[in-house]
Amino acid sequence: MSERQPRSGLDRMSSGTPRALRRVRMLTSGRWHAPLDTRLMPTVVAVGAAERGMGKSIVASNLAASIAGLGRRVVLVDLDFRAPRQHTLFGVASPAGGLQAWLEKKRERRDELAQPTRVRNLRLLPCTASPAAPPPLDQRRELVRELNDLDSEVIVVDIGTDNRDDLFDFFALNAFRLLVTSREPRAFQATYAFLKGAAARAERSHGSDAGEVLGRFSGGLVGNAIEGPEHEESFHAFSRLVREHLGIPLPVLGCLRKSDRIAQSIVARQPLISRRGIDDNVRQFDHMAEAIMKDEGAGERTCPLDGDPIDVAAAPLPVNIERYARKHTRYPVDWAATLELTSGVTAVRVRDVSESGLAVETALRLRVGDTAVLHLDQLSGSPRVPVIVKSMVTAANRVGLAFAEKGRVTARLAAAARAAAHPAA
């Protein structure tokens, strides 16, 4: 039985969508649940990092637990051959052979290697506990091809830094790829070099069509170890830099704060997402899980980048990242609102607010330049604000809205968001 406590009504909100969704209450959690459907192939979520120490294993374990909390049958696969951690993070016995035994099993019995965890709906396919070099390339390719044999709706893969190219080599179809990084300059430089290598692969394989192929990249960036909303903007600035210079859409899917609770969850050998208490990081994992499971077009945005790796050495970024930073800090919130358009009215979820605008979560397809009126139903007085659509991140169902007019109401919204981000201030 899950130890997670019931959530407030605010955490139960989900964005309005044009398609029919049904909510399902499981255990004591009131989170949004995707419709129960039958998929021919499992959804693959590959989690990697450009260098060690970025926290990718923590992200993979908690994301898998959060998706399992949505009612999906999940298998977490540890492909970090050099430094496997998932069996330790879940308190699962050190595997005898682990993935090394995978190819020796008959196909119809390979699912037996996935071990149950204390998290409902979640099993773990651990890696061998003894550090070893990644298997040969052809063996890894065969291994990943056979992952679809697992009895699962979702497969979350923790990819090792030493075999990080697998992130682009093998997960082209029906996959959502996540890169985890901190905001340290060396981390951004390593991540940019890794992505630059992916762009070089696209040019080698697809020639003049490389830009179109990279534009179909399905994935996102996860920022780790931030200390406040002010640090979150660094990841958004990096995302814009990557889009402009490499042509790779890499939206920021979530940002995690430094937290003693994460360290405590590691010691307890239990994912943060399944422990008692709700904090900003738990909400971030839940938001990422919901965004991934609602992204029905991931399998259609194939971006094949297979072939021999192209190593690019880490170097200073092509331009100062501050050039891409917003002028005003965006403060995360979770507010219910209604967006009034000329075509009708839809419920949305406000995700962050600044002095110049805000971001909302909705599956409704809008266009840049659309005008609307945002009704902040949850705030005192239900203020209404004219807005203009400025940007869209389809994969994350996020829409950036700019205030059409600034005044006391917009200043009040920014102040409320700032106070929520710094409650002790």
Interval 3-61: pLDDT, tens: 444 444 334 333 443 433 333 333 334 444 444 444 467 889 999 999 999 999 999 99
Span of 5-14, 124-133, 184-193, 416-425 with lowest mean pLDDT: 5-14
Whether the per-residue pLDDT at 416 is higher than 70: the answer is: yes
For residue 90, is pLDDT > 90? yes
Question: pTM here?
Answer: 0.78
For residue 297, what pLDDT is reported? 59
pLDDT value of residue 214: 87
CA distances for 160 relative to 24, 60, 83, 278, angstroms? 35, 11, 7, 29
What fold is seen in the domain 328-421? Thrombin, subunit H (2.40.10)
pLDDT at 119: 94
β-pairing verdict for 357-361 and 398-403 = antiparallel
Reported CATH class of domain 43-321:
alpha beta
The rounded Cα 275 to chain-centroid distance in angstroms is 20
Cα dihedral sign for 51, 52, 54, 60? Answer: positive
Q: In this prediction, what percent of the chain has a pLDDT beyond 70?
A: 81
According to DSSP, the β-strands at 43-48 and 398-403 are unpaired
**Residue 39: Cβ within 10 Å count:** 11
**In a 3-state reduction of DSSP, which class is residue 5?**
coil
- Are residues 327 and 356 in contact, defined by beta-carbon separation less than 8 angstroms? yes
What are the extents of the domains in the chain?
A: 43-321, 328-421
**Judging by beta carbons within 10 Å of its beta carbon (0-12, 13-18, 19+), is residue 309 exposed, middle or buried?**
middle
Residue 62: exposure state from Cβ atoms within 10 A (0-12, 13-18, ≥19): buried
The runs of H, that is alpha helices, within 70-124 are 86-89
Dist. CA 242–CA 404, nearest whole Å: 28
CA distances in angstroms from 231 to 38, 185, 398, listed in the order given? 40, 13, 20
State in Å, rounded, how far the first CA of the chain is from the last one: 37
Residue 256 confidence (pLDDT) above 70: yes
In this chain, the answer to whether the domains covering 43-321 and 328-421 adopt an identical fold is no
**Per-residue pLDDT tens over the stretch 357-389:** 999 988 888 899 999 999 998 888 889 999 999
Helices and strands, number each (H, E), in the chain: 10, 14
